[in-house]
Amino acid sequence: MRRSVKPSGLRVLLYLLLIGILLYVVVYMPTPYMIYQPGSAEEVKPMISVEKGDPAEEGTFMLTTVSASYANMALLVMSAFNSNAEVVQKEEKLGDQSKEEYAATQVYYMNSSQSSAMEAAYTAADVDYRIIPAYMFIMSVPKDSANKESFHPGDKLLSVDGEPVSDHAKLTEFIASKEVGDIVEVKLERGGNPVTVKVPLVPIKDDKTESERPGLGVIIATMQKVEPDNPDDRVTFADTKIGGPSAGLMFTMEIYNQLTPGDLSKGYRVAGTGTISKEGTVGPIGGVKHKIVAADREGAELFFVPRKNYDEAKAKADRIGTEMKLIPVDKLQDAIDYMNGLTPKG
């Protein structure tokens, strides 16, 4: 005998269905927005070590970050009640990049920032050094690439057919001896794990000559290594989950402090932001208003800010009523001179 579902049972099923739909809409349904808000202010010293550097540091140098989240409906609603939250269109930040490509780009920027910080600090401390290629890094995999299933943004490219490749010149020279369609064995590192793939070489058009040459069909960057002539001055960075180029200035301050005698921090809690060039030029960054809040929360007394970001930073500092002092800088030497002019905290 067939049993009919009681009305109360139908109501329960409808309630469960509605709850499921609501849960999806509020938590799981993607939106075209990202939410930016204050991240962290983190001590730089645990991230950097100089082989035989001067460890003296009574205060601390801190980098500052912005927290970026892919927004669901719940986060969008909460952000409406958060004066420090900023809602932006994904397209504005990601452009045509996928999430994976954007993350790989941030890793590349961080590596470049670390390299430039070492160069700037070595130059300021009169340390001789040289640049050598470290490894190759998959930045992007075009959607129309024949090898899009074999490569992922963020992969480290280690070798092709057993031949180590650490820069574009070596890779191009090695592949030039082959033909389009040849199958090559590529060894990668993905998420810390070794991966081996076999892929066909695809035609790559040379923008200058309009001719075609064989290639892997991906966009690759060369990561560089900065090597001092004296091994005692070698800088090592700890692995972090921080991306982007804006920690350059604070990395440089910490490296310079360890390379030179004495304590550049003078006992102060010093935060800051700004890109750095190998010549020591400090460049503007995004999200400075969020970094001001992050630094204030961690009790920073001083904040170095790129001059072009100063007005925005000052407006936010005034709004939150912080006692932290903002110091606008154009170059590394500005920050070094300011710290050298301070009386050590007693």
- What string of DSSP letters covers 41-105? EEESGGGEEETT-----SSEEEEEEEEEEE--HHHHHHHTT-TT-EEEEHHHHHTT--HHHHHHH
0.95 exceeded by pTM: no
205, 180, 183, 185: which is closest to 195 by C-alpha? 185
Mean pLDDT of the 170-185 span: 87
Q: Which CATH entry fits the domain spanning 33-95+113-127+231-340: 3.30.230, 3.30.70, 2.30.110, 3.90.320?
A: 3.30.230
Indicate whether 2 pLDDT > 90.
no
What CA–CA distance (Å, rounded) separates 85 from 49? 35
Mean pLDDT of the 117-121 span: 97
The one catalytic residue among 187, 291, 316, 331: 291
What CA–CA distance (Å, rounded) separates 262 from 264? 6
Q: What is the pLDDT of residue 1?
A: 46
What CA–CA distance (Å, rounded) separates 288 from 314? 10
Indicate whether 199 pLDDT > 70.
yes
What CA–CA distance (Å, rounded) separates 45 from 200? 45
Rounded to a whole number of angstroms, the distance between the first and last alpha carbons of the chain is: 90
Residues 6+ apart with CB under 8 A from 215: 175, 201, 202, 203, 204
Residues 6+ apart with CB under 8 A from 164: 158, 170
Are β-strands 275-276 and 269-272 bridged in parallel, bridged antiparallel, or unpaired? Answer: unpaired
Residue 246 bears catalytic tag? yes
Mean pLDDT of the 312-338 span: 97
Span 215-262, pLDDT tens digits: 898 988 888 899 999 999 999 999 877 778 899 999 999 999 999 999
Which of 199-203, 242-246, 290-294 has the weakest average pLDDT? Answer: 242-246
Span 253-288, pLDDT tens digits: 999 999 999 999 999 999 999 999 999 999 999 999
178, 242, 257: which is closest to 215 by C-alpha? 178
Kindly indicate the confidence band of residue 26, based on its pLDDT and cuts at 50, 70 and 90: low
Q: What superfamily does domain 133-223 belong to in CATH?
A: PDZ domain (2.30.42.10)
Q: Is pLDDT larger for residue 83 or for residue 285?
A: 285
Indicate whether 309 pLDDT > 50.
yes
Residues 6+ apart with CB under 8 A from 282: 248, 249, 274, 275, 276, 304, 306, 307, 329, 330, 331, 332, 334, 335
* Tokens found for residue 312: 């925005």
133, 343, 339, 344: which is closest to 256 by C-alpha? 339
The one catalytic residue among 115, 246, 266, 316: 246
Residue 159 bears catalytic tag? no
Can you spell out the DSSP letters for 7-28? HHHHHHHHHHHHHHHHHIIIII
What CA–CA distance (Å, rounded) separates 154 from 135? 12
CB 292 within 8 A of CB 342: no
Mean pLDDT of the chain: 88
Residue ranges covered by each domain of the chain = 33-95+113-127+231-340, 133-223
What CA–CA distance (Å, rounded) separates 167 from 182? 21
Indicate whether 208 pLDDT > 90.
no
What CA–CA distance (Å, rounded) separates 201 from 300? 53
Indicate whether 24 pLDDT > 70.
no
Q: Crossing angle for the helix pair 99-124 and 332-340, nearest 10 degrees?
A: 60
Q: What are phi and psi of 45, to 5 degrees?
A: -55, -45
Q: What is the pLDDT of residue 174?
A: 86
